[in-house]
Structure 1
Amino acid sequence: MKSASVSHLVGDSADDASTLSQEVAFEMLSCRRRRYVIHCLKQRGGAVELRDLVTQVAAWENEVAPEVVTYEQRMRVYTALRQSHLPKLDDGGIVTFEEHRGTIALTDAAAELEVYLDVVPHEDIPWSKYYAGLGILSLGFVGTLWIGLPPFSFVAPLGGALLVTLLFTISAAFHVRYDRRMRLGGDSEPPVAEVEP
């Protein structure tokens, strides 16, 4: 169900035919329901039947098990996916939606979305800002050690270096764990936060 408008969404030449533009990637990821679709497809190996996809998305949206999703919940999701979100993802080159067969599959271009996934809960700050702040604090700490201002003058240089290294190592370990939890297609439920452009 590819439309003629796909050429402006993905690369025009044969070499970059699967390259998504940043604008298109963020448009595809901007909607929670579309992220749920991608998450489900990634979890299930890249292809799924429409009825199974609808049930799983409805379960996530209503925070219930798939077995207890009601007919009304399913129909709301079905209508939105079939009329809007799946055609949009298909036009964007992220999925192939075979409406007559009722199947949806991820395309190779879907793997490129990972580059744009910086999922940030509303209460949190982006990791880039966190590391910038940690770097500034570390520089200030090392500067006061070097100048010898009390009470930092009592800290040995090796102890200060060890403390800074430990802070960055603990932060990086936590970041890796956080990224695994917030990744589309992971083992857990899909991340519900907004995607930051």
Structure 2
Amino acid sequence: MVTLDEIFELLEDQRRRYALYCLYEKDGPVAVSEVVEKIETWEDDPPEADGSLDRFEEIALDLKHVHLPKSAEVDFIQYDREQGLIQVQGSPEEFDALLTIAKIVEEPEE
């Protein structure tokens, strides 16, 4: 069972929320590259990237090394690092409700 603290910790970072919004739009596993592309379109004012990386690479690295492993700490998010796939499966209703509310409030542009 996921705690409220764990849910809020998952939702505290905008880029991680964007990844979760993207995963909820899809049914089944989603390629990390697809999540990166979606985040790239949603970010209005992205954090400054390292000058040696383009924006796509910077987002991909941030997701692969920070946000996806963090998200996979809960039982209902599976991240297959080797295949580059992530999915949400069997999430609790409380998480679904809070994520839906967050997306409505945040309104990332499609």
TM-score by length of 1: 0.45
CA contact (8 A) 1:20 1:109 kept: no
Q: Which residue of 2 aligns with 1:32?
A: 14
CA distance in structure 2 between the aligned counterparts of 1:35 and 1:191, rounded to whole angstroms: 11
**1:137-156 to 2 correspondence within 5 Å?**
none
Q: How many residues were matched structurally?
A: 100
| Unaligned ranges ≥5, structure 2 | 46-52
| Unaligned ranges ≥5, structure 1 | 1-18, 64-70, 120-180, 184-189, 193-197
1:139-166: CA deviation from partner (whole Å, max 9, x where unpaired):
xxxxxxxxxxxxxxxxxxxxxxxxxxxx
CA contact (8 A) 1:28 1:92 kept: no
Deviation above 6 Å: which 4+ runs of structure 1? Answer: none
TM-score by length of 2: 0.77
1:48-75: CA deviation from partner (whole Å, max 9, x where unpaired):
1111111111121148xxxxxxx71101
Q: Which one has the largest radius of gyration?
A: 1
1:93-143: CA deviation from partner (whole Å, max 9, x where unpaired):
341110111111112126431343554xxxxxxxxxxxxxxxxxxxxxxxx
**SS of residue paired to 1:20:** coil
1:68-97: CA deviation from partner (whole Å, max 9, x where unpaired):
xxx711011001000000000001234111
Q: Which residue of 1 aligns with 2:23?
A: 41
Is 1:182–2:104 an aligned residue pair?
yes
Q: CA RMSD of the aligned region, Å? A: 2.4
